[in-house]
Amino acid sequence: MQETDNKTFSVLNIELTPNPRSVKFIVDQKVIESGSKTIEEGGYLETDTFATNLFALEIVDMVYLREDFVAVTLNSADLWVIFKDKVKNIIEANLEKYAEGDDEVSASILDDFDMETYPSLADDEKIIIVEAVLDATIRPALANDGGGLEVIEVDGPIVRIRYQGACGGCPSSTGGTLRVIENHLRSQLDPNIKVHTYT
């Protein structure tokens, strides 16, 4: 749900991301109180004028909101030449602050956690710890490039993730970025972890 703040957003800066189909629009205030939000075709309420107007352009694949930015991914990178100003205008005219994002786990859960116990945890407990490690380290770095990631499941040593925002469909996300995430989780939690992307 959205809050009705009646404050309009101004786009302060427009940044390119490593994914040529995604552009990051930095706005002048918080767009979401906490966490992040991914909006895809059909995944929003009719009362969400911002999402309705963006997807009405019929070129938008996905919208990713976090903190003070909106990352918009189009069907093709070439379309940005024509639609960059139009997307900016929709953000400034229709964007309202979202009350809350998708659930993210507080990194404080790691304060009293003994990493050596991770391999013996149940999968539903592992997912909470993996989320907290990602929140503390990986997600802020991905957010700088207009993206994020969602943990789909943990199945023993296998961690399945889905990229969000600019990271979805970015060539480096399937190679270098995936290895960085895997190596980080291995060093923090369990050397046997394998990270796979889920599409």
Domain boundary (35, 60, 94) is at 94
Count CA within 13 A, CB hemisphere, residue 12. Answer: 7
Residues spanned by the domain of 142: 107-197
- Residue 148 binned pLDDT confidence (cut-offs 50, 70, 90): confident
pLDDT 10s digits, 180-191: 899 989 988 999
Residue count (the chain): 199
Of 43 and 121, the one with more pLDDT: 121
Locus of tokens 């925002």: 165
Whether 99 is in a domain gets the answer no
**Residue 107, token pair as written in the block:** 């990194």
Domain boundary (63, 94, 125) is at 94
Q: Give the chain's largest Cα–Cα span.
A: 53
Same domain membership, residue 27 and residue 85: yes
How many domains does the chain fold into?
2
195 backbone dihedrals φ, ψ, rounded to 5°: -110, 130
Per-residue pLDDT, 145: 79
Q: Residue 43 is part of a domain; what is its CATH number? A: 3.30.1370.70
Instruction: Write the DSSP assignment of 48-78 as a string of letters.
Output: -HHHHHHHTTS-EEEEEEETTEEEEEES-GG
pLDDT 10s digits, 17-62: 878 888 999 999 999 887 788 888 888 888 899 999 999 999 998 8
pLDDT 10s digits, 54-102: 999 999 988 988 889 999 999 899 999 999 999 999 999 999 998 877 6
pLDDT 10s digits, 9-29: 999 999 988 788 889 999 999
- Alpha carbon dihedral 89, 90, 91, 96, in 10-degree steps, equals 140
Q: Angle at which helices 176-188 and 123-133 pack, to 10 degrees?
A: 110
Same domain membership, residue 17 and residue 80: yes
Same domain membership, residue 114 and residue 71: no
